[in-house]
Amino acid sequence: MRGRRPVVFAFPCTALIMCVALLTACSTDDGREMQAPTDAQIASSLTTTTLAPETTLAVLDGGESATLDTTVDDGSSAALTLTAPWADGETIPDQYRCVGPEASPEISWTGVPDGTKSLALVLIDEDAPDFTHWVVANIDPSTTALLAGSVDPNAVQAKNSAGTIGYSGPCPPEGETHAFSLSLYALDQVLEVQNGDDGAAMQDAIYAAAIEAAAVTFTA
């Protein structure tokens, strides 16, 4: 959360001039004794401008001029968030591994940014990044969830390192535990890719077009 911005107050030059004029009138030396102005007279000659509490003064390069930044961050733009059937960092359930039905997990997301033309998913073994587990591109940006074992019918999937198109469940060597990440990407374009394309090439195209990303991690 951002800290509260400094408040800037402005005191007009006209008010200062009026004050000087009144004080000067009180100190004339023409032999006449001038009465001091009343509080009401002083109040009537002054105006005070208070800028909005969220207004900040931003000095431009060189400090020679300044501009007022009156924008307010109201926190209305939510970040892209991905939700999986496990908590971040937990061990993935067996049904999503190679020892189970090997079905892709049910996932959902929120906060797709404006300007998103398509969504993509990439599943990576952080300890064996050259192995392609799951790469999906051209998911409709209006989609907010995928059921277990399914993808958007308009999406395309790369060939995984097991030699099939689609999802390949995590399957580290016996006795080893690997760290994985499942990432959702918001892209600024629809990719020119097809089912069965090389996984690494599709990943590179996704990364190049990404404008925002969210991820959940797990071990297996």
Which of the residue ranges 92-106, 145-159, 163-177 would you say has the lowest mean pLDDT? 92-106
The answer on pLDDT for 66 being more than 90 is: no
> Percent of the chain at pLDDT above 90?
61
pLDDT bin (cut points 50, 70, 90) of residue 181 is very high
Q: Using alpha carbons, select from 157, 144, 153, 152 the residue that is nearest to residue 206.
A: 157
Query: Can you tell me the mean pLDDT for 134-151?
Result: 97
Beta-carbon contacts of residue 218 (< 8 Å; ≥ 6 apart): 84, 86, 88, 89, 90, 91, 92, 179, 180, 182
Q: Using alpha carbons, select from 171, 154, 153 the residue that is nearest to residue 162.
A: 171
> What whole-number distance in Å separates Cα of residue 202 and Cα of residue 127?
20
Query: Can you tell me the mean pLDDT for 145-159?
Result: 96
Q: Tell me the two tokens of residue 211.
A: 């404008």
Strands 118-125 and 132-139: antiparallel
Confidence (pLDDT) at 27? 45
Confidence (pLDDT) at 99? 81
**CATH 3.90.280.10, the chain: domain bounds:** 81-219
Q: Using alpha carbons, select from 112, 136, 154 the residue that is nearest to residue 205.
A: 136
DSSP 3-state of 10: strand
Amino acid (one-letter) located at 159: K
What's 81-219's CATH class? alpha beta
Query: The pTM is what?
Result: 0.66
The answer on pLDDT for 32 being more than 70 is: no
